[in-house]
Amino acid sequence: MAKAPHPAPPRPAAPAASPVRVAPAVAPRTKITEPSTGARNIVRALEEQGVDTIFGMPGGAILPTYDPLYDSTKLRHILVRHEQGAGHAATGYAAATGRVGVCMATSGPGATNLITPLADAHMDSVPLVAITGQVGASMIGTDAFQEADIVGATMPLTKHSFLVTDPDEIPARIAEAFHIASTGRPGPVLVDIAKSAQQATSDFVWPPRMDLPGYHPVTKPHARQVREAARLLATARRPVLYVGGGAVRANAARELAELVNLSGAAVVTTLMARGVVPDSHPQNLGMPGMHGTVPAVAALQKADLIVALGARFDDRVTGRLDSFAPRATIVHADIDPAEISKNRTADVPIVGDLKEVVTDLTVELRAAHAQHGQPDLEGWWQQLDELRHTYPLGWAPTEDGLMAPQHVISRLGEISGPESIYVSGVGQHQMWAAQFISYEHPRTWLNSGGLGTMGYAVPAAMGAKVGRPDATVWAIDGDGCFQMTNQELATCALEEIPIKVALINNSSLGMVRQWQTLFYEGRYSHTDLHTGHETKHIPDFVKLAEAYGCVGLRCTSTADVDATIKRAMEIDDQPVVVDFVVSRDAMVWPMVAAGVSNDDIQYARGITPAWDRDE
């Protein structure tokens, strides 16, 4: 066994602590018993949970709760313009802070408008509690006005959904909802409360007795499996740490930095994990997958060992699954046992909290190094460094001479800096924001990764700014996404939430158009939105921003990009919308087409990287 020190690139010092606000410790409290109502029980339970912000909209079935909420001095209620905005705002708040986000809506359409953000939070493991009003208990099942079976509808899309008809049960169900949402694999929980229960008299008793039989998330990993993973990591010749969003949710950045440095392994960070390992770290190869970097994709394909940490072998990462990483032994660590071997069979499964897994793995890796010596990774890094040198991320000038969206986003990241929070919509601008902004801290990159929800950016940025008021928060949105939820700019203006929106306006549904270019012979069926160059400009985004009480700016020239971004940065007391009117023909590269092997990644159109795939 080789004893020479492995030649991984120079390692930086451990990253500074994340700027994430840490929730204050909750001191033990004496038992509270107060005369109350069901509605007041909801408000008091939220107060006792330490909630400071609720995003919501009232309606008939939740109206009893809005009455005592009016008197609360601990809860800030932010009145959104659409329930979907409430859900995404709560998600953005949670993703930026690590705390549980809270949203509230009435029955029927109010509740069903929350389904998209609940599904979004479920896919991306975001802790969220949604409280909905339901029709009176005696009317449930009668097709009463604005009745919808929201518990049945959301059960597959949440960690759990409760229906409460007894006012005395409300404190316990809300306490259970917060416990479930924030422990194990984080996720959304819905509490649907009948109007009759809200109106009934009750006693508020706190803390309540929670009753969750069978819910016991495993956090401590099995020592023997961790030891075997360490042995494999110490003896592999082409190891890769495949880091997913679970590492962000587990707040494992500091522990992960120690493992990365000790192992000398190559690191890839998924779309959801951007920032959990600093982009400046020399072992970080960037993002793998459909629009990942060539070195990251190649590293996974050529690895002899993949240690997956809070990642789920998503199809956007693996490409055609049967050709993914054909020679790799798989170690898969995740808090959710259902993820283990779901898509790719794990040779070493590890169930546990990522922070504990990584901590234990680091300890065991030191012992494995003592036994087996440091692995010889010189040849591995020579291959990877050659790929990094040959296939860096970049873009070509646009053929129409108009602004390149990649340039706008790149300059935005450089001028605003790594301490800012960037929240994207879904589409081309999302991929460019993931590629061309350098992320140095966890929880500074928020997006809808699993569900791919257009319309996520503006309300999620609003929530992030509420949770992290001292941070500069940029929503990077497309003209298609923006038109789905931009009404929340009114909320931002009235509630004094000064987010900044960089609208990457290519006048089309850009990613769909890219696929039409590549796979449908340029037949652009219904993707032109008429918002950009030489169009009707409907809507005029500057006028729209001003109508919402925001500052509206427009930039159409590359020469004006820096000055426009700096002007937006100077405005701290109002939301700002910058309409960057860019070329519609820019495309996202590299690319692995859907259903294709990662071996067939294209660096640019018609250019396939040369590497020895049979090596």
Q: Could you give the residue numbers annotated as active site?
A: 83, 145-146, 195, 511
**73 and 124 Cβ atoms separated by less than 8 Å:** no
DSSP 514-561: HHHHHHSTT--TT-B-S-STTS--SS-HHHHHHHTTSEEEEE--GGGH
Cα torsion at 312, 314, 317, 321 (round to 10°)?
110
Structure token pair of residue 331 = 């170690």
Residue 207: how many CB atoms within 10 A of its CB?
15
Question: b or e along 585-607 (b: 16 or more beta carbons within 10 Å of the residue's beta carbon)?
Answer: ebbbbbbbeeeebbbebbbeeee
Tokens encoding 10: 């120079």
Query: Which of left, alpha, beta for 25 (phi over 0: left; psi -120 to 50: alpha)?
Result: beta
Closest CA to 255 of 360, 350, 359: 359
Task: Count Cβ atoms below 10 Å from residue 211 Cβ, excluding itself.
Answer: 10
CB 82 within 8 A of CB 109: no
- Stated length of the chain: 615
List the alpha helices (DSSP H) in 35-102: 38-48, 63-69, 83-97
Query: Is beta strand 201-206 parallel, antiparallel or unpaired with respect to 32-37?
Result: antiparallel
Residue with tokens 């680091």: 362
8-state DSSP, 508: B
Q: Which two tokens stand for residue 468?
A: 């992290």
> In angstroms, rounded to a whole number, what is the distance separating the alpha carbons of residues 198 and 451?
33
Cα angle 246, 442, 90; round to 5: 75
**DSSP output for 415-439:** HH-TTSEEEE-SSHHHHHHHHHS--
